[in-house]
Amino acid sequence: MIQEKEIFPSIEIVINAGSGADDKEAVCLRLSEFFRSNGIHARISLAASGAEIVELARRAAGGPGATVIAGGGDGTINAVASTLVGTDKMLGILPLGTLNHLAKDLHIPLDLEAAVRTIVAGHSIRIDVGEVNGHIFLNNSGLGLYPSIVDQREKGQRLGYGKWPAFFRAVLTVLRRYPFLAVRLSANGQAFVGRTPFVFIGNNEYEIESLNLGARACLDAGQLSLYMTHRIGRLGLVRLALRALCGRLRGAKDFVALCSEEIWVETRRRYVRVSIDGEVIILPPPLHYRVRPGALRVIVPEAPGQEMK
């Protein structure tokens, strides 16, 4: 009697080797076993750089499989998701980064085996994505303080500092300089002109007035959220943070919060640093932000009474 080899359905996984603190070789072995125990053969690729993540994701997105899985932090998820936007392919998320904002907003388990079980179950929804000058973001995009902090943090890491020590050094460096950006913003037929330390644009609305700061209740309302302030110094920024914790931020003087489907940002600078899901790129203004409703299909846990869309 000839014994036939069992053939498993195949699934593509792209893992960022540099995300988080776990041993990624060990993670890959665990993932392979988790999926195999569920009757699925996982083709796992470890990417050593951002360019390699994009190349592997494009290759996987062009394959026959219906699902492409991203393992890493929000930047990794963005890189893989960008190849799937506007298609019927599903994005699976393995939250292996430090903060995992998107996974938390989608209620995806941070435990690796539980995240695999979510993917195996295959329940999907469609979520919105934001776009700025052709670049996709799933969480948020920003100008001013935050991109400068990220840029300084990366310089610190290149000098040998750990991620968090480099981050705190970067915050101190940027706040010491406290640069302002002269901008003109247009949204909902309104124009805002002034000098600001930051502009924050989110994919859907962010919670800004509670201990749950930075979370989103939904990702399918078809809106961008805009938050900015102007004519405010360092101490004023601290006061804004305290007002947010006390639930009184929206009434703060010189603080702008609104939702719109489209936002234009103009500045006299030839190029500006723009953060996109925690990564920084350089773009020439004007910056055209828009929301793309339901453009990405994502695998999420099934809520009671939820039907797969």
Q: What pLDDT, on a 0 to 100 scale, did the predictor assign at position 4?
A: 34
Q: Tell which wins on pLDDT, 75 or 24.
A: 75
Assign residue 267 a region: left if phi > 0, alpha if psi is -120 to 50, beta otherwise?
A: beta
Whether pLDDT at 306 is above 90: no
Name the average pLDDT for the chain.
86
Residue entry with tokens 């914790």: 245
Q: Long-range contacts of range 265-269, CB-CB < 8 Å, 24 or more positions apart? A: 265/143, 265/183, 265/184, 265/185, 265/199, 265/289, 266/183, 266/184, 266/185, 266/186, 267/181, 267/182, 267/183, 267/184, 268/182, 269/181
Q: For the segment 184-230, what is each residue's pLDDT rounded down to a tens digit?
A: 999 998 898 888 888 999 999 998 776 677 889 999 999 999 998 87
Q: What pLDDT, on a 0 to 100 scale, did the predictor assign at position 303?
A: 73
pLDDT band at 290 (very low <50, low <70, confident <90, very high): very high
Q: Tell which wins on pLDDT, 296 or 245.
A: 296
One-letter identity of residue 237: L
- The reported pTM is 0.87
Residue entry with tokens 């639930």: 247
3-class SS at 144?
Answer: strand
Give the domains, in start order, of the chain with CATH numbers.
10-122 (3.40.50.10330), 137-293 (2.60.200.40)
Q: What pLDDT, on a 0 to 100 scale, did the predictor assign at position 171?
A: 78
Taking the C-alpha atoms of residue 95 and residue 72, their distance in angstroms, rounded to an integer, is 6
